[in-house]
Amino acid sequence: MRRTLALLAAILGVLAISACGGGSSSASTTGGSGGGSAPPKYDGKPVTITFWHPFTQRQADDMNAIVADFEKQYPNIKVVSRGGISDQNIIAAIRSGNPPDVAFSQSSDNLGEYCGTGAWINLAPYLAADHLSASAFPTAVQQYTQFSGDRCALPDLADAYGLYYNKTMLAKAGITSPPKTFDELTADAKKLTVFNPDGSIKIAGFVPVSTYYENAAAHYAPLWNAHWDINGKSAFATDPGWAKYLTWEKQLIDWYGVSKLTKFVSGAGNEFSPQNDFERGRVAMNLDGEWRVAFVTSDKSNVDYGTAPMPVDPAQPQLYGAGYTTGNVLGIPRDAKHKAAAWLLLKYLAFNNGAVEKFAEGLRNVPTLTSALSDPVLTGDPHFAVFLKIFGNPNTASDPITAIGSANQTMEGNWQQKWEAGSVSDLTAGLKSVDSAIDAQVANSTIGKAP
Amino acid sequence: MSTLPVAAAPRSMAPPPLSPSRRRAKRRAAWRRRRTVLLFMSPWIVGFSVFFAYPMLDNLYLSFTHYDLLSSPVWIGLANYRYLFGGDQQVWPAVSNTLWFLAIAVPLQVLFAFGLAMMITRAKMGVGIFRTIFYLPTLTPTVAATLGFVFLFNPATGPINSLLSKLGINGPSWFQDPHWAKPSLTLLSLWGVGNAMVIFLAAILDVPKHLYESAQIDGANALRRLYYVTLPSISPVILFSIVIAVIQGLQYFDQAYIASTSAAPGSLGNAGDNVSENLGYPQGSTLFYPLYLYQQGFGFFNMGYAAALSMLLLVVSLAVTLLILRNSKRWVHAAGGVR
Amino acid sequence: MATVASEVRAPVIRRTIPWSVRRRRLLVAIADHSILIALAIVFLAPFVFIVLTALMSNQQALTTHLWPQPFKFSNVTHVFDTAPMLRYAGNTFMYASLATLGLVVSSVPVAYALACLRWRGRNLAFICVLLAMMLPPQVTIIPVYVMFAHLHLVGTVWPLIIPNWFGDAFSIFLLRQFFMTIPNEYLDAARIDGCGELRIMFQVVARMAKPAIAAVALFSVLLCWNDFFGPLLYTLQNPAHWTLSVGLSQFRNQYSVQWNLVMAGTIVFMAPVILLFFFAQKAFVEGITLTGVKG
């Protein structure tokens, strides 16, 4: 019912726009909450807009299909899409004054830079002019698409992270259900690991190394209830969750042996190819995003697998079911040349229920429109439904948006590599040094900036 | 830029008094010559001021500001320098990486290039073939060569370690091991010493034959001939090679960037993450100073601070180059000299 | 060797060389050549392995096997389907050709003025050239980047091309060194004949310095083709303007390929340069020698 209503609304919207092509309408709603002047309206003239997105190959095809639908609705707007774009590309393009009309970023990490500086324009006036509201998105999504009250981005699908396990291997090792705590994960990983005659690792039960695939520390933080910052100060030393996570990780790494694991990891297949280690049975369990469901299908992998929430801190079993989430964010860069037409594409991608569902079904990503969360195609897939649940869990969290973008994650990651290799003797002192390095970088990056 | 007479006509010390018309003609000629020089020099005058002198001054200014390219630079005085010498814990590992490279890889490069050149001069046959083979890697695009090496030395799938294991040697993790990453890059740089080798080769072949002959008559053995004849004769070339290698060592970027981003196991393809997150992999062991500068300036867009970093690089480069040139007077034979 | 022969050498050389000395010399020569051959194999091995890996299948590239089974020659063409290699090559070609053209056109007159004209401030100007040549580019990249950002040229190859149109320090240096070797008599003779400096540059100096100009152009093409830092800085944000070097550096992540295709791309990238080398080997070697010996 809701779906048809949304569709109807979309059709009506299209009719309204095409009916008043001359621009004679009285749509001059005042800026509303955004406080700005009325945004420019698309005048219906033929226009070509550029659209940058991160997808490649199969996922790019899905993206392009949605864009093609959009172009069918707005025959005068031609969208030139460019895939394979990273955040670094977007940031550099904005700073160089030569950005696309619509930018699609796969993480909200840099939203602080996009919103806080006006690099992406405030969308509040556009929303108000079209009588749209961000309340159409789940609360968590509303939060990661704005920065300190400035709504500069809209969501289009989100990612939730969970555990993938190889059923055949678990059964062979006599494990009946996937692990629920990290202690169980360690025990299972040891049982599942197979060594070659020369002592090297043939099949790893679970690889905890932070540089491996999706194993970044950020994806573990919610599972240990660890926080990146407390009261604006980096919190690696002050939040005990980090030490617990790192100690657990180190113990498992040491069980394998650092050099054996390094060698194993360097033989990994490309993450987004059929040679992905999980898909070709080189690891028994893996932390990964919900998109892997679609990859397993499209790569024609014959892995018999199950999905579950990631295990959690044994001392906080109530966390089970939570996970890391992050979402795609879309925005219009400040120097975009065709903002009015860009807004139409943005609106279509974020608010059009049909578009969101079609895209979510294609990529097998979590939809970000509340109305699309009940899409039967998505909920009907047991592998995928797990991730919808993780997404809805109250303890599921993302990483905070900082003034230094993801520099804090880079700095933590560099240090963590040393920790994993065993070249850090004092964990607390090490974490303190990371904290002070990050705080110093934040101080240097924000000095002279308006508070 | 006033001009002196172009033609090398001999001039008397006291020019005879000139008639007004001749004086005018002379002035016109002088102006024409000045114009000619200006015309010929004009590309460089523009290029030097727009792409060198102005940026240097601007860089100095930016180093006292906070600048993120989104809003105009904000003057913050010495804060960047205080951070550089006080708070920044990431810069010193980068400095020590670069120093390691200067202290170990650079001398090895010069020695190896010299050794190759000496070997070729001893060859009786196939000089051209050997020269071509040793030079070929130099031509290989940096990106291609580095990607090739990262793969060849991959501990799990690369051929080097599988060959080593056939010999019963358990090879290291090369680019994946913080202790081996810089030596691996050094090997890569030794593979590409072709330019220096060709220069050495030409210099060694240029050493006058009679010097060797007289040394031989004096009963000097091969080692002594090398020490007393070859080395002094080619000392300007050695100096040149060292200076070039040091300058390149201070700027060392491409290979380390590619090696660290391609050796890191985690594929970044879909994660939307910053490429710069893998710079320096493993464990920051390949984060050389220029990479750190790039990361701050173009990864974090902390351009004011990056400008301060580059000021330090400027001072160090100037100091190192001058130091080598000054000390060189003691051991370089002033055969060519600076004209 | 010398110690044994030192006392008897003079008479020995005149007569036939005794068998023992000849054998010793032969052994030394064999040892020398064996070392050289071993070194040559080491130098060539990476190329061999790169080619072999490029012909492997996806699965095989993830194993330790050295020999492709079966040979997948289609990889080399598959690279072109996977990534817009032709576009990358086009961008690289545009960069290399326009930059080289501008570099030669602008550097020759400057080198001429520094070598063949006499004027006050000439030494100072030459020191400026040396300075620009010696100092690391990182010292100026930030302001230059900001400048091109204000011109909205970041994201294109133009920031890489344009500076070359205003003289390149290294090329000016190299050309000047060569021009200096041209005897002044030629120039003066032309001047007495009433030639303007422009004509002398074109008809006398440029003609005599053909090998040097060829070497400078060749170096420039090679540097542009291989350049990574510049394209990384200015084109990374816009894949439509990627050069081969940037495209290849992003290859594995961007197109989710295994090492075999990366190596195939590497071959596509290397091949033109190596071909160029074999056609212009003489100019190369002369050019490099020029940089070192005349320095």
Mean pLDDT of B193-215: 86
Higher pLDDT, B329 or B241: B241
Q: Tell me: pLDDT of A27 over 80.
A: no
- The pLDDT value given to residue A304: 95
Distance CA A281, CA C31 (A): 51
Give CA A229 to chain center in angstroms: 20
Cis peptide before C70 (omega within 30 of 0): yes
State phi, psi for A255 to the nearest 5 degrees.
Answer: -65, -40
Mean pLDDT of B262-282: 60
Query: Do the Cβ atoms of A264 and A204 come closer than 8 Å?
Result: yes
- The pLDDT value given to residue A2: 43
Record: fold of B90-301: MetI-like fold (1.10.3720)
Looking at the domain assignment, is residue C246 inside a domain?
no
Q: What is the DSSP letter of B335?
A: T
Mean pLDDT of A181-201: 94
Rg for chain A (alpha carbons), in Å? Answer: 23
Distance CA C106, CA C122 (A): 17
Closest Cβ opposite residue C237 in set A93, A267, A275: A93
Angle at B76 between CA B75 and CA B80, to 5 degrees: 125
Q: Which helix (H) or strand (E) holds A388?
A: helix A382-392
- The pLDDT value given to residue A5: 43
Q: What is the pLDDT of residues B222-236, one digit of tens each?
A: 788 888 888 888 888
A93:C256 CB<8 A: no
**Which residues of chain B lie closer than 8 angstroms to C3, CB-CB?**
221
Q: Which helix (H) or strand (E) holds C91?
A: helix C85-116
**Which residues of chain C lie closer than 8 angstroms to B37, CB-CB?**
113, 117, 119
- The pLDDT value given to residue B209: 83
- The pLDDT value given to residue B333: 60
Distance CA A423, CA C153 (A): 45
Enumerate the domain spans of chain B: 90-301
Mean pLDDT of B264-269: 54
Look up residue C26 and give its two tokens: 């032969």
State phi, psi for C218 to the nearest 5 degrees.
Answer: -65, -45
Our CA dihedral for C245, C250, C252, C256, rounded to 10 degrees, sits at: -140
Look up residue C100 and give its two tokens: 């080289």
Angle at A403 between CA A400 and CA A409, to 5 degrees: 55
Closest Cβ opposite residue B144 in set C188, C269, C295: C269
Query: Do the Cβ atoms of B291 and B256 come closer than 8 Å?
Result: yes
Interface test with B, best of A212, A447, A449 (most B CBs within 10 A): A447
Interface test with A, best of B76, B81, B84, B89 (most A CBs within 10 A): B89
Neighbouring chains of A at 3+ CB pairs under 8 Å are B, C
Query: Do the Cβ atoms of C268 and C76 come closer than 8 Å?
Result: yes
Query: Do the Cβ atoms of A282 and A204 come closer than 8 Å?
Result: yes
Q: How confident is the model at residue A12 (pLDDT cuts 50, 70, 90)?
A: very low
Percent of chain B residues past pLDDT 90, beyond the cut: 35
Looking at the domain assignment, is residue C63 inside a domain?
no
Q: Return residues 242-281 of C near B (CB < 8 Å).
A: 244-246, 248-249, 252-254, 256, 259, 262-263, 266, 269-270, 273-274, 277, 281
Closest Cβ opposite residue B143 in set C249, C288, C292: C249
Query: Do the Cβ atoms of B181 and B101 come closer than 8 Å?
Result: no
Looking at the domain assignment, is residue C3 inside a domain?
no
Closest Cβ opposite residue C258 in set A85, A95, A273: A273
C110:B40 CB<8 A: yes
**How many Cβ pairs closer than 8 A exist between chain A and C?**
66
Q: Which of A330, A329, A327, A308 is nearest to A397 (CA)?
A: A327
Distance CA A33, CA A303 (A): 51
Within chain B, residue ranges assigned H as helices are 20-48, 54-62, 79-82, 91-100, 106-122, 127-139, 142-152, 159-166, 181-191, 194-206, 209-217, 222-225, 231-233, 235-250, 254-263, 289-294, 303-331
Mean pLDDT of B88-104: 93
* A317 at C interface, C-beta within 8 A: no
Distance CA A289, CA A387 (A): 8
Q: Tell me: pLDDT of B182 over 80.
A: yes
Q: What is the DSSP letter of A268?
A: P
Distance CA C125, CA C103 (A): 18
A270:C150 CB<8 A: no
Which residues, 6 or more positions from C262, have their beta carbon under 8 angstroms from its beta carbon?
B147, B151, C248, C251, C252
Closest Cβ opposite residue A266 in set B156, B178, B295: B156
Percent of chain A residues past pLDDT 70, beyond the cut: 91
Q: Return residues 75-114 of B near C (CB < 8 Å).
A: none
**Which residues of chain A lie closer than 8 angstroms to C149, CB-CB?**
95-97
Average pLDDT, whole number, for chain B? 83
B300:A86 CB<8 A: no
* C134 at B interface, C-beta within 8 A: yes
Q: What is the pLDDT of residues A127-141, one digit of tens each?
A: 999 999 988 888 778
Q: Which of C245, C294, C103, A124 is nearest to B202 (CA)?
A: C294
Q: Locate the chain A residue with the closest alpha carbon to B86.
A: A440
Which residues, 6 or more positions from A187, have their beta carbon under 8 angstroms from its beta carbon?
A179
Interface test with A, best of C87, C152, C234, C238 (most A CBs within 10 A): C238
Q: Is this complex's ipTM strictly greater than 0.90? A: no
Domains and CATH numbers, chain A: 8-159+325-392 (3.40.190.10), 161-319 (3.40.190.10)
Q: How many domains does chain C have?
A: 1
* A269 at C interface, C-beta within 8 A: yes
Per-residue b or e along B230-261, where b marks 16 or more CB atoms closer than 10 Å to that residue's CB: bbebbbbbbbbbbbbbbbbbbbbbbbbbbbbb
Query: Looking at CA atoms only, how far is residue B299 from chain A in angstroms?
Result: 7
Give the pairing of strands A47-52 and A77-82: parallel
Q: What is the mean pLDDT of each run of 10 residues along chain C (295 residues)?
A: 42 65 85 90 92 86 80 84 88 95 94 89 89 84 90 88 92 89 85 84 86 88 92 85 89 76 89 85 70 48
**Which residues of chain B lie closer than 8 angstroms to A441, CB-CB?**
88, 90, 300
Q: Tell me: pLDDT of A177 over 90.
A: yes
A405:B89 CB<8 A: no
Least confident of A32-46, A103-117, A138-152, B316-330: A32-46
Which residues, 6 or more positions from C276, have their beta carbon under 8 angstroms from its beta carbon?
C218, C221, C222
Q: Which of C127, C122, C294, C134 is nearest to B324 (CA)?
A: C134
Looking at the domain assignment, is residue C181 inside a domain?
yes
**Which residues of chain C lie closer than 8 angstroms to B148, CB-CB?**
46, 49-50, 263, 266
Give the pairing of strands A229-230 and A146-147: unpaired
Q: What is the pLDDT of residues B58-75, one digit of tens each?
A: 999 999 999 887 778 999
**Which residues of chain C lie closer than 8 angstroms to B298, CB-CB?**
145, 233
Tell me which amino acid residue B76 is: I
Closest Cβ opposite residue B272 in set A86, A291, A443: A86
Query: Looking at CA atoms only, how far is residue B265 from chain A in angstroms?
Result: 6
Tell me which amino acid residue B108 is: L
Max mean pLDDT range (A60-64, B324-328, C152-156)? A60-64
Please classify residue A314 by burial: count the beta carbons closer than 10 Å to its beta carbon, then call 0-12 exposed, 13-18 middle and 19+ buried: middle
Average pLDDT, whole number, for chain A? 85
- The pLDDT value given to residue A247: 96
Mean pLDDT of A394-411: 82
Q: What is the number of H-type helices and E-type strands within chain C?
A: 19, 0
Neighbouring chains of B at 3+ CB pairs under 8 Å are A, C
**Which residues of chain A lie closer than 8 angstroms to B269, CB-CB?**
56, 270-272
User: Can you spell out the DSSP letters for A172-212?
Assistant: HTT--S--SBHHHHHHHHHHH-EE-TTS-EEEEEE---TTS
Q: Tell me: pLDDT of A216 over 80.
A: yes
Structural domain of residue C144, as residue ranges?
Answer: 84-241+270-289
Query: Do the Cβ atoms of A144 and A401 come closer than 8 Å?
Result: yes
Q: Tell me: pLDDT of A116 over 60.
A: yes
State the helix-helix crossing angle for B54-62 and C138-150, rounded to 10 degrees: 90
Distance CA B294, CA B277 (A): 12
Q: What is the pLDDT of residues B147-175, one digit of tens each?
A: 999 988 988 888 888 888 888 888 888 99
Which residues, 6 or more positions from A342, have their beta carbon under 8 angstroms from its beta carbon?
A49, A101, A102, A332, A336
Interface test with C, best of B52, B270, B281, B338 (most C CBs within 10 A): B52
- The pLDDT value given to residue A192: 96
Distance CA B211, CA B234 (A): 13
Closest Cβ opposite residue A273 in set C153, C239, C257: C257
- The pLDDT value given to residue C240: 83
Q: How many CB atoms lie within 10 A of CB A231?
A: 6
* A92 at C interface, C-beta within 8 A: yes
**Which residues of chain C lie closer than 8 angstroms to A98, CB-CB?**
152-156, 237-238
- The pLDDT value given to residue A111: 83
Neighbouring chains of C at 3+ CB pairs under 8 Å are A, B
B250:C269 CB<8 A: no
**Which residues of chain A lie closer than 8 angstroms to B282, CB-CB?**
417, 421
Looking at the domain assignment, is residue C261 inside a domain?
no
CATH of the domain at C93: 1.10.3720.10
Q: Return residues 99-128 of C near B (CB < 8 Å).
A: 106-107, 109-110, 112-113, 117-121, 125, 128
Look up residue A350 and give its two tokens: 């974020």
**Which residues of chain A lie closer than 8 angstroms to C154, CB-CB?**
92-93, 95-98
Q: How confident is the model at residue B331 (pLDDT cuts 50, 70, 90)?
A: low
Q: Which helix (H) or strand (E) holds A305?
A: strand A305-308
**Which residues of chain C lie closer than 8 angstroms to B303, CB-CB?**
142, 146
Query: Do the Cβ atoms of A396 and A324 come closer than 8 Å?
Result: yes
Q: Which of A163, A160, A165 is nearest to A176 (CA)?
A: A165
Closest Cβ opposite residue C191 in set B7, B47, B293: B7
- The pLDDT value given to residue B266: 58
Query: Looking at CA atoms only, how far is residue C264 from chain B in angstroms?
Result: 10
Closest Cβ opposite residue B178 in set A86, A271, A421: A421
